[in-house]
Amino acid sequence: MYQYDAIDQQLVQERVAQFRDQTRRYLNNELSEQEFLPLRLQNGLYVQRYAPMLRVAIPYGMLSSAQLRTLADIGRRYDKGYGHFSTRQNLQFNWPTLESVPDILAELAEVEMHAVQTSGNCIRNTTTDQYAGVIADEIVDPRPYCELIRQWSTFHPEFAFLPRKFKIAVNATESADRAATQVHDIGLHIKKNDAGEIGFKVIVGGGLGRTPMVGVTISEFVPREDLLTYLDAIIRVYNQNGRRDNKYKARIKILVKALGIDAFRKLVDAEWEHLRGKESTVPMSEFERLQGFFTEPAYKALEEQPQSLTDKLANSAGFARWYERNTFSHKKAGYRIVTLTLKKNGQAPGDATSEQMDKAADLADKYSFGELRVSHEQNLVLADVQQDQLVELWEAAKESGFATPTLGLLTDMICCPGGDFCALANAKSIPIAKQIQDTFDDLDYLYDIGEVDLNISGCMNACGHHHVGNIGILGVDKKGEEFYQVSMGGASGHDASIGKILGPSFAQEEIGSVMKRIIDLYVDQRTEEERFIDTFRRIGIKPFKEAAYAKAN
């Protein structure tokens, strides 16, 4: 993974010193709330319902075991003993005091971490596939390109105060899009042209929130050496033309829709003419330098499917379930990718205690070269596990609550912190997640239902990505009471789509039974090969609507 050089380290430490002084001046009433606002936001600090929330950057979801132990220690000493992994591969602390944040940032800097640009109207953390670098069908490893974008966008002087926040995601496989690139401000798909040259299909204007949209293709192929000049051109056009009078209409998706993609492309191409081939063109030596940080670990020559694994799969239904759901094929024979799920019933989705973080770091050291990934679905990933160590790892993961074998199933839900923490939320998300976990707390039934993406957001800001859940749940406020709107038919992969609202919202206590009726209808209507989303797309929303409101009728 990327290692800081002396300049990186100096930048981060100077930033800590600056924020320490800014915090001191704010606490001494030398800075007003309005003056302090952009300063704290660009250091990842929100003011939430009960306490500040600090969002720590985890670039493209990569973590070393030492970094995770530091996060665990910070959670233990400055928070309430846990952290929350977000859909954009970051980690949030929900209970630090404002006075303690400079100390937290100083401790993060010691392990090459920070919270810079995890909030505010700037370019946020670039995200990618949690399986990057270890899957067979990848065109190239996307992480060096993510690191290139990270270095370009961090402290970019022209883009520090954009009309609104700006998010970029990168995908490098044809078979799947695990980074939800089509619902980002810019989605990048790594491709090779007929000459075998590497470049990017560029998608622009996607996003969720109050006005959800799937992005549109602005260029089918941008050569990789031109990536930064093309990104500069897009964001410069947005910075100059995006609305600043209404924050709900300030995202790039609104500008692209208002102009139309052809007119927007024309503006970008005109801007690119000024930039292409100039100083931001990336030389091959820079790609080689960055790729040097993402070399393969010291893999062993191992047997694929060793006998010990085959025997365990035949003799242990519990292990076989975990293997089937929570592990994924690896490009190297004898290795497997393992997801440590953070979706145990009774635990808020995406939350990990400090003890769990320490344990995950131990497992990474013992089984996966000391590295971990954070997934878009709010789980942790060990990317390089020997197949002959899977049984031992499964036993250890069970002890720490990491082995719930439900990856990709209904209860592997995405969920924002909601009204339990967030000042923006209209309703609580975590009790809804718990109600659904309890309703479907039967592994046999979950396996029979099969793959369903369930996403829950506490408000229209859509941190839980409810618009692109096969089933989405949105918390709404109705005259001071919490209700929940259900949408269906969303998807975040290559077949991205925005869900359709089912109808009037439901009371909190109804959600479990509503979900049960929706799933029962699906089970009744599906054909043998269909997933939930396939059945929905075949029969449409009407039967699901009738089932969901059957009680009222």
The C-alpha atoms of residue 371 and residue 74 are separated, in whole angstroms, by 19
The C-alpha atoms of residue 362 and residue 69 are separated, in whole angstroms, by 9
Do the Cβ atoms of 397 and 421 come closer than 8 Å?
Answer: no
User: Which single residue is written with the structure tokens 């690191």?
Assistant: 147
Do the Cβ atoms of 96 and 104 come closer than 8 Å?
Answer: yes
* pLDDT score, position 50: 78
The C-alpha atoms of residue 215 and residue 253 are separated, in whole angstroms, by 8
Q: What is the DSSP letter of 498?
A: P
**Whole-model pTM over 0.85:** yes
Domains of the chain: 6-110 (3.90.480.20), 142-291 (3.30.413.10), 307-400 (3.90.480.20), 414-549 (3.30.413.10)
* pLDDT score, position 425: 80
* pLDDT score, position 551: 61
- Looking at 306-378, list the stretches that DSSP marks H as alpha helix, in order from N- to C-terminal side: 307-315, 317-326, 354-367
Max CA separation in the chain (angstroms): 69
297-301 contacts at long range (C-beta below 8 A, 24 or more positions apart): 297/369, 297/371, 297/384, 298/369, 299/332, 299/335, 299/384, 300/334, 300/386, 301/333, 301/334
Q: How many helices (H) and strands (E) does the chain have?
A: 18, 21
Token digits of residue 253: 């998706």
* pLDDT score, position 420: 82
Predicted confidence pLDDT, tens digits, the chain (553 residues): 999 999 999 999 999 999 999 999 999 999 999 999 999 998 999 987 778 899 999 999 999 999 999 999 999 999 999 999 999 999 999 999 999 999 999 999 999 999 999 999 999 999 999 999 999 999 999 999 999 999 999 999 999 999 999 999 999 999 999 999 999 999 999 999 999 999 999 999 999 999 999 999 999 999 999 999 999 999 999 999 999 999 999 999 999 999 999 999 999 999 999 999 999 999 999 999 999 999 999 999 999 999 999 999 999 999 999 999 999 999 999 999 999 999 999 889 999 999 999 999 999 999 999 999 999 999 999 999 999 999 999 999 999 999 999 999 999 999 988 888 787 788 898 999 999 999 999 999 999 999 999 999 998 888 899 999 999 999 998 888 999 999 999 999 999 999 999 999 999 999 999 999 999 999 999 999 999 999 999 999 999 999 999 864 4
The C-alpha atoms of residue 244 and residue 239 are separated, in whole angstroms, by 9
Do the Cβ atoms of 282 and 224 come closer than 8 Å?
Answer: yes
> Which CA distances in Å does 353 have to 234, 395, 432?
40, 19, 21
Do the Cβ atoms of 231 and 149 come closer than 8 Å?
Answer: yes
The number of C-alpha atoms within 13 Å of 213 and in the hemisphere containing its C-beta is: 20
The C-alpha atoms of residue 152 and residue 366 are separated, in whole angstroms, by 34
Reduced to 3 states, what is the DSSP secondary structure of residue 537?
helix
* pLDDT score, position 47: 84
* pLDDT score, position 466: 95
Could you tell me how far CA 504 lies from the centroid of its own chain? 29
- List, in order, residues 6 or more apart from 43 with CB less than 8 Å away: 15, 19, 101, 105, 115, 116, 119
